[in-house]
Amino acid sequence: MPNHRRLDIAIFGSGAWGTALAMTWARQGAHVALWGHPPEAVRELEETRRHPRLPGAELPPNVVPLSDPEPAFHAPIWISALPTQISGDVWQRLAVATTLRPELLIHVSKGLLQVKHQRLSEALGPILGVPIGVLSGPSFADEVARELPTAIVLALPPEIEEERARQIQALLATPRLRLYLSRDIAGVELCGALKNTLAIAAGLVEALGFGNNARAALLTRGLAEMTRLVEKLGGRSETATGLAGMGDLLLTATGPQSRNRRFGEMVGRGTSPADATASMGEQVVEGVYSTEAALSLAKHFGIELPITLEVARLIKGADPQEAVKRLMQRSLKSE
């Protein structure tokens, strides 16, 4: 274990994405603590130096897997790589385990909290009492772990002054992981959530054999829904048309690694939503949880999300053909 003072980054969550980021930053010389649960999974990661969902990639020696979070608390920057729906509960426990706090916590999770309909920065800020940023965009963990070129967005809060924000951007960027700096935390988080819902719809279109025309229409109109939600909740339209929005939507709606797209495809072919979710094992289909939260926010702010509405019905067991029929037969509008 490196000396506490030598830790540069602590990652909380040793799933595929957290581990891929640990590999990426360690290859650039950073000393990275990687905390995870359960302890037996962390021991296996420590012994094999490999993650089961990242074939062909090995942990550099300066990544230290931990089942005890205490050493990780000494890092100046914390990264939260936990599944969205459990992030608040886990950080409630971690926050009372230490009086230490980082300069900044950056979360890399995509989704809205199902119960409170919050973005993660809204939930984690009061728990930790520190600035909360977000790292998001078109990125599959296995490709990042294999050092394939990737470009994503680092959104930082106003408490982090511009000079320091640029320093953090430079610290976390690598020759193979390009980071674009943003201040639109709300927009980046909302895009990361809604693109999962739209990817479920894309999987449905694919399963039903509706062709490329339908997929293009779906993604274009889905981007319009994303933009409406982002703007109404205080984000910027250019975020929706950038890497965090359109970029991540294109990847998640078309990439073979996308759990949300696969879920939609399975349901479209007749698998029940419950069985489709169960087939993913430990991997979370985040769009299942974020869809209702997005609809609730849309209702509160008086905006229409017709594709999101049909995905919500699909998750509850509605007929996929009927969902598409309702979308196609909506009253005609101007673009």
pTM metric for this prediction: 0.95
Query: How are beta strands 150-155 and 132-136 bridged, if at all?
Result: antiparallel
Q: Please give the chain's pLDDT, 335 residues, in tens.
A: 444 558 999 999 999 999 999 999 999 999 999 999 999 999 999 999 999 999 999 999 999 999 999 999 999 999 999 999 999 999 999 999 999 999 999 999 999 999 899 999 999 999 999 999 999 999 999 999 999 999 999 999 999 999 999 999 999 999 999 999 999 999 999 999 999 999 999 999 999 999 999 999 999 999 999 999 999 999 999 999 999 999 999 999 999 999 999 999 999 999 999 999 999 988 889 999 999 999 999 999 999 999 999 999 999 999 999 998 999 888 878 88
Q: Which 8-state DSSP code applies to residue 82?
A: S
Rounded Cα gap, residues 213 and 96, in angstroms: 52
pLDDT of residue 211: 93
What residues contact residue 170 under an 8 Å CB cut-off, 6+ apart?
none
Q: Which of 110, 195, 232, 333 is catalytic?
A: 195
Q: Which 8-state DSSP code applies to residue 332?
A: P
* 195 assigned to active site: yes
- Pick from 279, 306, 286: nearest CA to 136: 286
Rounded Cα gap, residues 253 and 13, in angstroms: 25
Rounded Cα gap, residues 165 and 235, in angstroms: 19
Tell me the CB-side half-sphere exposure of residue 72, using CA atoms within 13 A: 26
Q: What is the CA radius of gyration of the chain?
A: 20
pLDDT of residue 5: 57
Please report the DSSP string for 32-77 in residue order: EEEE-SSHHHHHHHHHH---TTSTT----TTEEEESS-GGGGGSSE
Domains present along the chain, CATH in parentheses: 4-183 (3.40.50.720), 187-328 (1.10.1040.10)
Cα–Cα distance list, 220 to 52, 69, 263, 271 (Å): 35, 43, 21, 27
Q: Which 8-state DSSP code applies to residue 8?
A: -
